[in-house]
Structure 1
Amino acid sequence: MQRLETIKKLSEYGLVAVIRANSKEEGIKIVEAVKKGGIKALEITMTVPGALDIIKELSDIYKDDKEILIGAGTVLDPETARACILAGAKYIVSPSLNPETVKLCNRYRIAIMTGIMTVKEAVEALELGVEILKVFPGNAFGPSIISSFKGPLPQGNFMPTGGVNLDNVKDWIKAGAVAVGTGSDLTKGASTGNYDLVTETAAKFVEAVRTAR
């Protein structure tokens, strides 16, 4: 049930915060700022120093909060996926389609979103049981790619990541995206230590998704 509940919540929230940082401390601050702005699905990328420690710490902090979803991003292989799951990640996100990683997540009933760029990859992911397909990098195509995918694959749930910002997030949702992932445009305030700006931007993203729906 946990996997199904996670997928349901990700679809309901419609927004995943992609957390990249230069240190564990900065990562924690960004997470808190984003959460304060109303985003409940938090993806800690494996490019963040101490990413597994952050996932474990956050999973412990929010273990009784059924609304907050802590996930792991930039997961390239099954070994990393397993480590993230042990640390408490409720979902796994990968920039590409790795069948062995999908199989491992299926084995442990953990939701996984794999990166796809072609209809062939999308079909392969669906055949492996992937529920939400990550269109990455989204800025290589733009929102119209969602409706293009939806033509032959109306049953697919697509989540673009890469290039999603406040100016186009509504276009992505209206094009048929079940959710969007956003990182640099959301957390850019952190580069200057302005975490209030991160919170403010998060709130704007939440509202933009809500109104687009």
Structure 2
Amino acid sequence: MTGNTLASVLAGARLMPVLTVPSAASAGPLADALAAGGARCAEVTFRTPDAEQALKAMAAHGGLAVGAGTVLTPEQAERAVAAGARFVVSPGFDEDVVAKCRELAVPVVPGVASATELMRALRAGLDTVKLFPAEPLGGLPMLRALAAPFPQARFVPTGGIDASRLPAYLAHPAVLAVGGSWMATAVHLERGEYGEIRRLTAEAVHGSAP
């Protein structure tokens, strides 16, 4: 692809908060809370009407490397990068999304749920994939099973992971980072519980430290 890889964008950060932001008005306080808790990156999912504006506001924060998640089409990828996304995450492998991200020179992390999908991603020249949904697929045993025959692959497991499962995932050498939403849930955001988001983020960052 390009010299711009997900590993270089994350710069050693191993915790990726996955955010579904209901309103752009909460983007600034949310970015402040995450950064205060020690987070250095975040994924804003394209699941709400305000997702694009929320991503733009959080990308302007400066303290976070912000990417776009749940990107399903090339057009969404283009809009996300225009809004400031530094990486793109998709729940599955789509050749057109990968091609658009290559054109835009941003790292793309497609979701895989099987060895076949992983082989397709590797054949397309990608070395980092999102294992999704990680826990429903079998969790760490599934990750180990996929990593064994594909030592060149790096994984960002996401889906059903919480604070208690975080250390075990991070201990696996094939895991680049872990995505999770428990630090900043929809309920936290609806209630404006930014202090709780900061606390949970700090706990998770501490748990992800080497």
TM over 0.5: yes
Q: 1:139 aligns with which of 135, 142, 146?
A: 135
Give distance in 2, aligned partners of 1:59 and 1:191.
21
- Ranges in structure 2 where 5+ consecutive residues have no aligned partner: none
Map 1:185-196 to 2 at 5 A: 185-188=182-185, 189-196=188-195
- Greater alpha carbon shift after TM alignment, 94-103 vs 142-151: 142-151
Please name the residue that 1:41 is paired with: 41
Where does 1:37-76 land on structure 2 (aligned, <5 Å)? Answer: 37-62=37-62, 68-76=64-72
State whether structure 2 residue 24 is matched by structure 1 residue 24: yes
Residues 175/61 of structure 1: CA separation in 2 closer, same or farther (3 Å cut): closer
CA contact (8 A) 1:150 1:156 kept: yes
Q: Is the 8 A contact 1:159 1:181 kept in 2?
A: yes
Figure out how many residues of one structure are paired with residues of the other and give that number: 205
1:203: which partner in 2? 202
SS at 1:187's partner residue?
A: coil
Separation in 1, partners of 2:192, 2:83: 28
- The more displaced of 29-38 and 70-79 is 29-38
After TM superposition, give the deviation of residue 130 of structure 1 in Å. 2.2
> Are 1:179 and 2:180 an aligned pair?
no
Structure with the largest fraction of helix: 1
Q: Post-superposition shift, 1:208?
A: 0.7
Give the 3-state SS of the residue equivalent to 1:44 in structure 2: strand
Unaligned runs of 5+ in 1: none
TM-score normalised to structure 2 length: 0.90
Q: Is the 8 A contact 2:66 2:87 kept in 1?
A: yes
Superposition CA RMSD, Å? 1.8
The answer as to whether partners of 1:95 and 1:136 remain within 8 angstroms in 2 is yes
* TM-score, with length taken from structure 1: 0.89
Which residue does 2:4 correspond to in 1? Answer: 3
1:104-119 to structure 2, matched below 5 A, reads: 104-119=100-115
Using the aligned pairs only, state the percent identity. 26
